[in-house]
Amino acid sequence: MGKFHGGGFQAIQEYFQQKSCRFCDNPFSSEGIQLLREEPGVLVVRVTCSSCGHPLGVAIVGTNNRGQKERPNCPADWTKKDIDRLSKNPAITYDDVLSAHEFFTKLGSDWAQHIPRLRRAAQSQ
Ligand SMILES: [Zn+2]
């Protein structure tokens, strides 16, 4: 596999190598960590225990793009006010992302009702 920008995937491998499989207690090894998809700011990895073969699951991991230009990595429809207000929050960590992933997988088909309605930005030109 090729190199990844900023060593994000390598950092994920190192992160999971500090964790142990809950079935056999062996630490995960880099062979068990497979990059499924890479997008700007996000890596999707599948983690499998290479000792006993139990899958840990698929993790969606946000990568901190340190040194990126002035605009923080945030949704394109955020206003400047949103950025001022929200960008001071601590960066999302791997654990946050894993928790969020667990949270999303537990949502039912009516998950959208929990999301506050957003005003549609005028799309005309
Ligand atoms: Zn195991």
- What DSSP string runs through 6-27? GGHHHHHHHHHHTSB-TTT-PB
Of the listed ranges 27-31, 51-55, 68-72, 94-98, the least confidently predicted one is 68-72
Helix or strand holding residue 98 (H, E): helix 94-106
Query: What burial class does residue 32 get, using C-beta atoms within 10 Å of its C-beta: 0-12 exposed, 13-18 middle, 19+ buried?
Result: buried
Whether pTM > 0.75 for this model: the answer is: no
Residue 19, token pair as written in the block: 């964790």
State the distance from the centre of ligand 1 to the C-alpha of 63, rounded, in angstroms.
Answer: 26
Of the listed ranges 33-42, 75-84, 107-116, the least confidently predicted one is 107-116
What mean pLDDT is predicted for residues 108-124? 61
Q: Report whether pLDDT(119) > 80.
A: no
Q: Which of the pair, 78 or 69, is modelled with greater confidence? A: 78
Residues with CB under 5 A from ligand 1 (ion): 21, 23-24, 49, 51-52, 54
